[in-house]
Structure 1
Amino acid sequence: MSDLAEVFSKTSAFSLGGVVTLGTVAYLAAKAWLPKSARWQDKYVFIWLAFDALIHFIFEGSFLWLSVFGRTVNTSTGPFAEMWKEYTKADFRWGVSDPTVVSLELLTVLGAGPLCCYILYQLIKNDPARHYWIVVLSTAEIYGGWMTFCPEWITGSENLSTSNVLHLWVYLFLMNFIWVIIPVLLMVDSYINISGALRSVQAASKSKKGL
């Protein structure tokens, strides 16, 4: 196992500090905009979706910009380029504008990001229709995670670096696993709400017919 001190650079601190900052902004946004009467589950959903949107627009949006207009991360300069160069130490594909990765990020930044914002608006308005869109968003994000790593697993993970604890457990595992487990939990919560509402309607309909 590599010495953590050898890879935990100023760029590492900047990157991880940026993630914490966006999480803090999401938490403050929930306190400011979400009604106090909201379910405790919805408060966590709001924080996650606000964080999710910020990550998509700022971090992944910068990757998309560098990959489309800057050609590649590896040939670009600037703070966001340096941040992504740090991530390429764990996954080489992000530095060379891999077509699969760029295609997924196009959907993430232009599709998932705006959808997060729309669901946040629905949460503020307490619109139950949000549960449908939460399922759509969560399905897309789980699929995105699958398509990011499944091709690598099939081909022997040639582009992944797992020899360093920071690269493996923070960059590759933690920063990707949360986009699987949290969407799964959101889908479960939305399923409970959708199925419960439909069963209530069904029971009410049967009750009327029995009169």
Structure 2
Amino acid sequence: MADTPTIFTKTSAFSLAGVLAVGLVAYLGSKVFLPKNARWQDRYTFIWLAFDALIHFVFEGSFLWLSVFGRQVNISTGPFAEMWREYAAADFRWGVADPTVVALELLTVLGAGPLCCYILKQLANDDPARHYWLIVLSTAELYGGWMTFCPEWLTGSPNLNTSNALHFWVYLALMNTIWVFIPLWLMYDSYTHIAGALRSKQSSYKNKAA
């Protein structure tokens, strides 16, 4: 009888515990840097941006380091290499330093990560200009996700392995779709603020001209 494939491993536990730890740090950061009377939308936005920045810097930053300076994840050593090898079991491109993936991660780690931190500063200062940058960031996140997976789908997904339930539903589905739905929500929330402010300004000009 063939052995039943292992779904959950020590590396799985290490990886998911790391994500939960990042989420906890992001939540505690919102408690420290935002006033207690902050809008619930702003509090959730702060938590997401802090979580987003840490994921980009710590997790994806480690992938970038291993792929650029260690040549690729599959021949590297250490806990982050083990973590990325597990993800690469679901999407093989991450194990071999696929140039498209590495190029996107360069933009993500060096661009989106610092932008998250800048918007966090704006949130802490209650600067309404953050809404413009939230739309810029969210657009970049959506584009990055699209360019990560669309070329793969168009070629029949030769690098995706969906046979492991944890890898498919958590690593591929959950961990990627949250970077779709949350940016879309942020774009909608920021649009209402920007459009509302512009319409109010336009109305005041019309009233003065009348």
TM-score range, shorter chain: over 0.9
TM-score, with normalisation over the residues of structure 1? Answer: 0.97
Shift of residue 167 of structure 1? 1.2
1:134 aligned to 2:134? yes
Give the fraction of aligned pairs with identical amino acids, expressed as a percent: 75
Judged with a 3 Å threshold, the aligned counterparts in structure 2 of structure 1 residues 60 and 4 are, in CA distance, closer, same or farther, namely: farther
Matched, 1:149 2:149: yes
What is the count of residue pairs matched by the alignment? 208
Cα distance in 2 between the residues matched to 1:38 and 1:209: 36
Q: Aligned Cα RMSD in Å?
A: 1.1
Residue 84 of structure 2 aligns with an amino acid whose one-letter code is W
In the alignment, is the contact (CA less than 8 A) between 2:7 and 2:165 conserved in 1? no
1:52-91 alignment to 2 at 5 Å?
A: 52-91=52-91
Amino acid at match of 1:92: F
1:37 Cα deviation from its structure 2 partner: 2.7
In 2, Cα distance between the equivalents of 1:90 and 1:157? Answer: 11
- Shift of residue 7, structure 1, vs aligned partner: 2.4
Whether 2:110 is the aligned partner of 1:110: answer yes
Work out the CA distance in 1 between the residues paired with 2:166 and 2:150. Answer: 21
Give TM-score scaled by structure 2 length.
0.97
Distance 2:110 2:28 in 1: 24
Gaps of 5+ in 2: none
1:125-149 deviation digits (Å, cap 9, x = unpaired): 0000000000000000000000000
Q: In the aligned structure 1, how far is the partner of 2:153 from the partner of 2:4?
A: 25
Q: Which amino acid aligns with 2:91?
A: D
Contact 2:67 2:102 (8 Å CA) reproduced: yes
Whole-Å separation in 2 of the counterparts to 1:164 and 1:55: 23
Give the conservation status (yes or no) of the 8 Å contact 2:93–2:101: yes
Which residue of the partner structure matches residue 161 of structure 1? 161
Quote the Cα distance in structure 2 between the aligned partners of 1:4 and 1:177: 29
**Uncovered stretches (5+) of structure 1, i.e. residues with no partner:** none
